[in-house]
């Protein structure tokens, strides 16, 4: 248990915040949600008081005592270093590299192209209609999932979860992205390993409690 209270600045439908909620839950850490509504009134992340916490004006931020921790993957690795058990990363350098690569495939390649601020820019600056914006999202999720599925299917390190039989960093990133895929109507039939791992994860209390619809700021 943390000697300082953990406060997660979060938005119920943010997949980056969703990753951190899963990680906190897997670690068994108590935390308080501080909601930052990314849409209402032009987005509460743009308020000066929040920009002072995170100059990127995004979520999540994890407050640990006086520390303000930013970027979901960096936060998850911080949790793993501060509270090593249960581990989010495997024991060997080779396996850790594989898990980090899977996590970054989602967090660095798929997610940034479909982030709220990107879609809002398309609408605001270029007047891209909703159907075209939705197709953009679906294309890049499918493109990334094709690679992710191949990396899972063809690797003996894949088990019940992305790495072996214990949930970890890659699963923290994958499950929120599958939520987004379902939200935008992506056909998940070509990705049986991904959907199998999703079902296994969501059956666990740590993942179930992190679902967007279970958050205190969900409508």
Alpha carbon of residue 86 to chain centroid: 19
Q: What confidence tens digit (pLDDT) does each residue in 1-49 have?
A: 446 789 999 999 999 999 999 999 999 999 999 999 999 999 999 999 9
Secondary structure element (H or E) that encloses residue 6, with its range: strand 6-10
For 47, the 3-state DSSP assignment is coil
Alpha-carbon gap, residue 102 to 193, rounded angstroms: 14
Q: What is the mean pLDDT of residues 123-134?
A: 97
Percent share of the chain, pLDDT over 70 = 99
Q: Assign residue 168 a region (left: φ > 0; alpha: ψ between -120 and 50; beta: otherwise).
A: beta
- Mean pLDDT computed over 70-80: 98
**Residue that the structure tokens 């999703």 belong to:** 198
The per-residue pLDDT of the chain, averaged, comes to 97
Q: Map out the domains of the chain with their CATH numbers.
A: 7-86 (3.40.30.10), 93-207 (1.20.1050.10)
Instruction: Return the pLDDT at 96.
Output: 98
The model's pLDDT over 141-181, given as tens digits with 9 standing for 90+, comes to 999 999 999 999 989 999 999 999 999 999 999 999 999 99
Length of the chain: 219
């Amino acid at each position: 248990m943390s000697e300082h209270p953990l406060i997660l600045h979060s938005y119920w439908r943010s997949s980056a915040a969703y990753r951190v909620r899963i990680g906190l839950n897997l670690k068994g850490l108590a935390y308080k949600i501080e909601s930052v509504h990314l849409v209402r009134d032009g987005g509460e992340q743009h308020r000066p008081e929040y920009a002072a916490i995170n100059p990127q004006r995004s979520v999540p931020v994890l407050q640990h005592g006086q520390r303000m921790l930013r970027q979901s993957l960096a936060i998850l690795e911080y949790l793993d270093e501060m509270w090593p058990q249960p581990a989010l990363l495997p024991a060997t350098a080779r396996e850790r590299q594989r898990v980090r690569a899977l996590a970054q495939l989602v967090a660095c390649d798929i997610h940034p192209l479909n982030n709220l601020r990107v879609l809002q820019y398309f609408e605001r600056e270029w007047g891209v209609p909703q159907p075209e914006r939705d197709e953009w999202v679906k294309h890049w999720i499918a493109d990334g999932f094709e690679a992710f599925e191949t990396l899972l299917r063809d690797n003996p390190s894949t088990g019940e979860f992305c790495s072996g039989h214990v949930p970890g960093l890659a699963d923290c990133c994958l499950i929120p992205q599958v939520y987004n895929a379902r939200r935008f109507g992506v056909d998940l039939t070509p990705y049986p390993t991904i959907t199998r791992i999703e079902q296994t994860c969501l059956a666990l209390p740590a993942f179930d409690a992190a679902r967007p619809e279970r958050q205190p700021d969900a409508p």
